Amino acid sequence: MNIKVENLTKTFGAQRAVDRISFEVNTGEILGFLGPNGAGKTTTVKMITNYLIPTMGNIEIDGKSLFDNAEEIKKHIGYLPENNPLYHEMPVIDYLEFCANLQGIPKEKINGRIYEMVRVCGLNAEKHKKIGELSKGYRQRTGLAQAMIHDPEILILDEPTSGLDPNQIVEIRKLIRELGREKTVILCTHILPEVEATCDRILIIHNGKIVADGTADTLRKQAQGQELMRVKIEEGESNVIFQSLQELPTVAMVDFAGREVNRFEVQSKPGLSSKKDIFQLCVKNNWILTESIPIETKLEDIFRNLTMN
Amino acid sequence: MKQIWIITKRELGAFFNSLIAYVILILFLGFSGFFTWLFGSDIFMVGQASLRSFFSIAYWTLFFFIPALTMRLLAEEKRSGTIELLLTKAVSDREVVLGKFLSTLILIIIALAFTLPYIITVTNLGNLDLGAVICGYLGLVLMSGVYISIGLFASSITHNQIIAFLTALFMGLFFHLIFDILANSFTGFIGQVFNYLSMTVHFESISRGVIDSRDLIFFISLMILGLYFAELSLSRRNVSN
C-alpha cells in the first residue's frame, strides 16, 4: 500500500506544526523520517495514523482517502507511538490478544500470530508478566509486537530501537529491513546511523516543512558538491608534494591534514575527480601513495546544515 | 459492535485486575447491606416487606461510587498516552466511549446482582411487590447509566483523575439534589422544568413501580447527551495538544 500526502497542514492555535508538506511512500520502501525535536514529525505521523485530523490537505492510502475510510484503512496500519504507551496492568499475552482482536484478526489465527510475535520480538521469557513489571527494553519489544501483530501493510515506527540492547537493535533493524521489502515502512528516529542502516529514503523535516528528500547518497552529493580526499604520500619532500598537488588541473585546494607529515586534504574542482591525477603524479615522481581516503560528508553534518538556522 | 465488546471486555478486566472492582463491590454491598438491614430506617424499622429502604440507600451509594469508577476511564489513558494507541487501532472514538460506558454499567449490574438475595429474604418475611422491586432495580440501572455517562464526560475533559472525579460528582449533584431543591422553591413553569430535571423525581416515580415514558426519556436522553459530549471532547485533541 502506498501513502500519498498532499499539502498536509496542521495548526494548533496560532502555531503551525506542519506546513503544507507533500510526499509519497511506496510499497517496498523504508522511509526515514528525520527532524529535530518539535519539527512536526510526530504530528505528521499522528495524522497518517488518523489520530489527528489535518487542518488542511489530504492523505491517500492506496488511492483511498484516509478520512473517508478510516476504519478500514486503520486495520492495515501498525503503529508504535513515541514513548511507547502501554497498559501497565495488563499481562503481555493478554495485551497482544486485545490488540489482535481490535485489529480484526480472525479468531483461529490469533494464537498463531501472538506466538509468532512473541518469538520475533524475543518476549518468550516475559510473556506472562504484567507490562508494568517489564524493563524498558521488554516494553519496547511489546510495543513493536503490538504494532506488527496484525501483519500490517503499513508500519509506522516512532523511535523503535530506543531502550534496546545492541543485539536486539541489530535484530530489529534486520526485521524492519525484511518487512520493508514488501511493506511500506515509515521510521521516525534521531539516530542517524540507524537511518543509514535501514532506510531506502530519507525525509528531513524542519519547522513543519520538508527540507530534504532523497537517498543518503543523493543527500550527500547535494550537500557536498566537491570531492574531498585525504591522501598520504611518502618518499618525498612535504612542501614539494604540496606544491605539485596544488598545480594539478583538477585540484581546487590542498591543505595539510593535521600535524602529520606528508598527509594532505585535497579538494577537487566542482564536478571533477582528482584521484587519477594524484596517482599519476606519484608515479611520475616516484612517490609512494600509501593512503587515499575519500571523505564523505557525514549524515550528521547534512542534518545540522539543514536544520540549524 | 464487535469492537465495542472487545473494549468492554478489556475494561472489565482492568477493573478486576486492579482490585477497583472488588473494593467497590465490597464497599457497595457493605454500605447498602448495613443501612438496609442493621441501621437507621432499615427494613425491620419500617416493618414492611419492601425494598424501598435498600433502593434509597443504593440511590446515594451509587451516586458516590460511580464517579470513582469512571474517573480513570479516559483521564488515565490520556495521561499515559495509551489513548493514542487505542484510537489508532481499527476503532472509532464512539466505539471507545461506548465500550467504556458499557463496561462500567456491567460492573454496576454485577454489584446490583449481588443484592438479589435480599429479595428472597424479604419474600420470606412478607408479601413482596415484585413489580415494584423490578422497577426499582431498573431505576437504579438507568440512574447508573446517567451518572456513568456524566462521569465519562468528566473523565474526557482532563488528564487528572481527581479532577474527573470531582467534576463528575459536581455535575451529578445538580441532578441528584440541587434541581430538586430548586423545584421546590420555584413555582410555575420554572418549577416544572427543575422538577423534570431532578433525578429524585424520576427515580422515585420509577421505583414506585410505574414505568413512565417521560422518565425513560429523561434517563436515556441524559445518557446519550453525556456520551455525545464525551465523544466530542475526545475529538478535541485536534484543537490543542
Domain boundaries, chain B: 2-238
Same domain, A98 and A199: yes
Q: What is the mean pLDDT of chain B?
A: 89
The mean pLDDT value for A149-173 works out to: 86
Same domain, A151 and A282: no
Give A74's contacts in chain B (Cβ within 8 Å). 88-91
What is the per-residue pLDDT for B36?
83
Same domain, A210 and A233: no
Same domain, A242 and A144: no
Same domain, A19 and A166: yes
Give B14's contacts in chain A (Cβ within 8 Å). 87, 89-90
In a domain, A306, yes or no: no
Same domain, A185 and A238: no
Same domain, A39 and A147: yes
What is the per-residue pLDDT for A223?
67
Amino acid present at A69? N
Nearest CA in chain B to A76: B90
CB within 8 Å: B3 and A102: yes
- Pick from B6, B13, B239: CB nearest A102: B6
> Residue A162: pLDDT above 90?
no
> Residue B2: pLDDT above 90?
no
What is the per-residue pLDDT for B145?
96
Same domain, A15 and A88: yes
Domain stop point among A221, A256, A281: A221
CA distance A208 to chain B (A): 16
CB within 8 Å: A81 and B81: yes
Instruction: Name which of A102, A146, A154 to mutate to probe chain B: the one with the most chain B Cβ atoms within 10 A of its Cβ.
Output: A102
> Residue B240: pLDDT above 60?
no
pLDDT digits (tens, 9 = 90+) for A40-51: 888 899 999 988
pLDDT digits (tens, 9 = 90+) for A215-263: 877 777 776 667 778 888 888 788 888 888 888 888 888 888 777 777 8
Domain stop point among A186, A221, A256: A221
Of residues A308 and B92, more confidence is placed in B92
Grade residue B70 by pLDDT with cuts at 50, 70 and 90. very high
Give B72's contacts in chain A (Cβ within 8 Å). none
In a domain, A185, yes or no: yes
CB within 8 Å: B88 and A83: no
Grade residue B121 by pLDDT with cuts at 50, 70 and 90. confident
What is the per-residue pLDDT for A155?
92
The mean pLDDT value for B152-160 works out to: 93
CATH number at residue A154: 3.40.50.300
Amino acid present at A78? G
Share of chain B above pLDDT 70, in %: 98
The mean pLDDT value for B79-86 works out to: 90
Grade residue A186 by pLDDT with cuts at 50, 70 and 90. very high
> Residue B229: pLDDT above 60?
yes
- Model-level ipTM above the cut of 0.85: yes
Min mean pLDDT across A147-151, B17-21, B88-92 is at B17-21
The mean pLDDT value for A77-93 works out to: 90
CB within 8 Å: A87 and B14: yes
DSSP 8-state symbol, B234: H
Q: How many structural domains compose chain A?
A: 2
CATH number at residue A275: 3.30.70.100
DSSP-assigned beta bridge partners for residue A209: A206
Same domain, A274 and A164: no
Give B10's contacts in chain A (Cβ within 8 Å). 87, 90, 98
CB within 8 Å: A51 and B84: yes
Same domain, A58 and A179: yes
CB within 8 Å: A85 and B80: yes
Instruction: Name which of A44, A51, A71 to mutate to probe chain B: the one with the most chain B Cβ atoms within 10 A of its Cβ.
Output: A51
CA distance A98 to A24: 32
Q: What is the 3-state secondary structure (H, E, C) of chain A?
A: CCEEEEEEEEEECCEEEEEEEEEEECCCEEEEEECCCCCCHHHHHHHHCCCCCCCEEEEEECCEECCCCHHHHHCCEEEECCCCCCCCCCEHHHHHHHHHHHCCCCHHHHHHHHHHHHHHCCCHHHCCCEHHHCCHHHHHHHHHHHHHCCCCCEEEEECCCCCCCHHHHHHHHHHHHHHHHHCEEEEECCCHHHHHHHCCEEEEEECCEEEEEECHHHHHHHHHCCCEEEEEEECCCHHHHHHHHHHCCCEEEEEECCCCCCEEEEEECCCCCCHHHHHHHHHHHCCEEEEEEECCCCHHHHHHHHHCC
What is the per-residue pLDDT for A224?
64
Of residues A27 and B42, more confidence is placed in A27
In a domain, A48, yes or no: yes
Grade residue A191 by pLDDT with cuts at 50, 70 and 90. confident
Same domain, A200 and A240: no
Share of chain A above pLDDT 90, in %: 15
pLDDT digits (tens, 9 = 90+) for A122-135: 888 888 899 999 88
In a domain, A309, yes or no: no
> Residue A273: pLDDT above 90?
no
The mean pLDDT value for A165-179 works out to: 84
The mean pLDDT value for A108-112 works out to: 91
Q: Are A25 and A184 in contact (CB under 8 A)?
A: yes
Same domain, A101 and A205: yes
CB within 8 Å: B18 and A81: no
Nearest CA in chain A to B13: A90
CA torsion A188-A192-A198-A201 (nearest 10°) is: 70
Nearest CA in chain A to B3: A102
What is the per-residue pLDDT for B111?
93
Give B89's contacts in chain A (Cβ within 8 Å). 74, 99, 102-103
What is the per-residue pLDDT for B186?
87
Grade residue B163 by pLDDT with cuts at 50, 70 and 90. very high
Structural domain span for residue A277? 226-296
Min mean pLDDT across A265-269, A298-302, B63-67, B162-166 is at A298-302
Nearest CA in chain A to B238: A52
Residues in chain A: 309
What is the per-residue pLDDT for A68?
85
> Residue B241: pLDDT above 70?
no
> Which residues in chain B (87-146) have CB-CB distances under 8 A to chain A?
87-92
Grade residue B22 by pLDDT with cuts at 50, 70 and 90. very high
Amino acid present at A275? K
What is the per-residue pLDDT for B216?
92
Domain stop point among A194, A221, A248: A221
Min mean pLDDT across A142-151, A244-253, B212-221 is at A244-253
